[in-house]
Amino acid sequence: NAGVTQTPKFQVLKTGQSMTLQCAQDMNHNSMYWYRQDPGMGLRLIYYSASEGTTDKGEVPNGYNVSRLNKREFSLRLESAAPSQTSVYFCASNGRGFYEQYFGPGTRLTVT
Amino acid sequence: KNEVEQSPQNLTAQEGEFITINCSYSVGISALHWLQQHPGGGIVSLFMLSSGKKKHGRLIATINIQEKHSSLHITASHPRDSAVYICAVKETSGSRLTFGEGTQLTVNP
């Protein structure tokens, strides 16, 4: 099993550009999450999907959209990137009734 | 004030020392997690506990629900233990985790 995979690993964008971060898990997990991690702050939840077909806002959803394409895949889109979105983005998943989360390797995004 | 507070923020130890990292939280929880983030950035789950104590190798995690406090102990620390250790709680209501800011541990040889 690959666990949770994310692409790309690194990305540099100019202000106003758009991009999609991809996440996939092969553990048949119901719930998937997108977090951002900034220096001096804990991981903050952007969006989550409790099951296929549902998505909900987390703590910091502004400037982002998500799609739960199927049970395996959960993508995060930045429509018009801003320097404030420079961060490391992590995708995670967990199974029903299990609170332990499995994390992807992260995407380091820089917006100039 | 954050719902999850960790202390210390930074910790430097000599190889072989006994290490304690603390986590306090202010909400009712159903589970508490300890995570490890290595310098390369990957995050792995170390423990998930809702009561008592768990042990895995040189790592021990304890939780006191009444005092809303958890500790992570590392016995006989080693340079490879150098990482950021993150505490996270799952509130009784809701399905999401709330994270502490992390504790940067450096173990020198």
User: What's the pLDDT tens digit per position in B56-103?
Assistant: 999 999 999 999 999 999 999 999 999 999 999 988 877 688 999 999
Tell me: pLDDT of B48 over 70.
yes
In which band, very low, low, confident or very high, does the pLDDT at A18 lie, cut at 50, 70 and 90? very high
Residue B104 at interface with chain A, using a CB cutoff of 8 Å: no
User: Chain A residues with CB inside 8 Å of B90's CB?
Assistant: 99
Interface contact flag, B33 A44, Cβ < 8 Å: no
| pLDDT on residue B92 | 84
Alpha carbon distance, N-terminus to C-terminus of chain B: 36
Which residue of A lies nearest to B46 if distances are taken between CA atoms? A100
Distance CA A75, CA A94 (A): 16
C-alpha distance from B67 to closest chain A C-alpha (Å): 22
d(CA B60, CA B34): 10
Smallest CA–CA distance from B33 into chain A, residue: A100
Q: What is the mean pLDDT of chain B?
A: 93
What is the average per-residue pLDDT within A103-107?
95
Q: What angle do CA B41, A5, A109 make, to 5 degrees?
A: 50
Burial class (CB in 10 A: 0-12, 13-18, 19+), A12: exposed
The number of CA neighbours under 13 Å toward the Cβ of A89 is 32
State residue B65's pLDDT score.
93
B86:A40 CB<8 A:
no
